[in-house]
Amino acid sequence: MAMSDPIADMLTRIRNANTAKHDTVDVPASKMKLAIAKILLDEGYIAKYDLVDDGAFQNIHITLKYGKDKNEKIISGIKRISKPGLRVYAGKEDMPKVLGGLGIAIVSTNKGIMTDKQARKENVGGEILAYIW
């Protein structure tokens, strides 16, 4: 059966693996998910990610990041904002700040997928995909 929201599935897999204190999580690959994984890596929320090809399918192998011990989580929350049933857009002047700037919003713009800080710097708006803090 076809999945209706693959980005929400990716975020849920990361959230569940983080809650269960797993070291890694595998997510089916797509260009948008790779861009989201790159943002998570650049912002310091995950340790690394690799594209794994097992013949029939490609997966993104994400290595999660924790503090000194696994009880200190780097990702304390992930929330999907724009859903297939209700798209959420923000213009360049009303780009959201997550937890007063402590978290990030992942935004899909006409210049690619970027964080809310990058979108403000580029002076573009777009679809708010998710909040991560």
Give the pLDDT confidence of 6-55 residue by residue, as tens digits: 999 999 999 999 999 999 999 999 999 999 999 999 999 999 999 999 88
Q: Is residue 124 part of a domain?
A: yes
39: containing domain? 6-132
Q: Is residue 1 part of a domain?
A: no
3-state secondary structure of 101: helix
Q: How far apart are CA 89 and CA 111, in angstroms?
A: 15
Q: How many domains does the chain have?
A: 1
Tell me the pLDDT tens digit for each residue of 106-122.
999 999 999 999 999 99
Q: Is residue 10 part of a domain?
A: yes
Please state the separation of Cα 96 from the chain's center in Å.
Answer: 16
Confidence of residue 2 (pLDDT cuts 50, 70, 90): low
Tell me the pLDDT tens digit for each residue of 64-103.
999 888 888 999 999 999 999 999 999 989 999 999 889 9
Q: Is residue 94 part of a domain?
A: yes
Q: Is residue 35 part of a domain?
A: yes
Q: Is residue 45 part of a domain?
A: yes
Identify the CATH number of the domain in which residue 87 sits: 3.30.1490.10
Q: How far apart are CA 109 and CA 79, in angstroms?
A: 19
Q: Is residue 78 part of a domain?
A: yes
Share of the chain above pLDDT 90, in %: 83
Q: Is residue 89 part of a domain?
A: yes
pTM of the model: 0.92
